Amino acid sequence: MLLSELLPPTRIRIPLGGTTKDDLLRELVGVLHAAGEVGDEDEVLRAVREREAVLSTGIGNGVAIPHGKSPRAGSLAMAAGITREPVEFDALDGRPVNLFFLLVGPDSAAGDHVKALSRISRLVRSDSFRQRLTSAASPEEFHALMVEAEQS
């Protein structure tokens, strides 16, 4: 499973319009709903909010990977985006966030869910890669950067 296959350009938003943590969660879940990847948008949003309440998914260095498990997700699905201005997200390092990856899947996809979280985390450890992603001018450019990173 490649992240770039889970994340076509149609599920990447540049820029995201949300200005609060909850706005961004709602917007990213809405991207998956509009793509037909999740059924009940409110149920999926609730699952993501519940996971976020346990511990912030703001992993630091301006990155957040909100995620949740819901039976309303037919399979593992991913959306991503960049905000123009960093948003307070209760990140572990206390810094605001401008790079977001959302993962949602059913319980049956738990293994792939963990693998995807790990792969995202590994990719965004690189300062230069994060900078390139946040400088992407279009969803297509963002996606191409993901493809390139996975091939190297």
**Domain segments of the chain as ranges:** 3-151
pTM, to two decimals: 0.96
Say what the pLDDT of residue 152 is.
83
pLDDT tens, the chain, 152 aa long: 799 999 999 999 999 999 999 999 999 999 999 999 998 999 999 999 999 999 999 999 999 999 999 988 889 999 999 999 999 999 999 999 999 999 999 988 989 999 999 999 999 999 999 999 999 999 999 999 999 999 98
CATH 3.40.930.10 fits 3-151, yes or no: yes
Catalytic residue among 33, 67, 113, 143: 67
Angle at 144 between CA 14 and CA 152, to 5 degrees: 135
The residues near 138 (Cβ < 8 Å, ≥ 6 apart) are 9, 14
Say what the pLDDT of residue 60 is.
97
Say what the pLDDT of residue 87 is.
98
Find the length of the chain: 152
Q: How far apart are CA 96 and CA 22, in angstroms?
A: 14
Q: How far apart are CA 66 and CA 102, in angstroms?
A: 5
Catalytic site includes residue 143: no
Say what the pLDDT of residue 82 is.
98
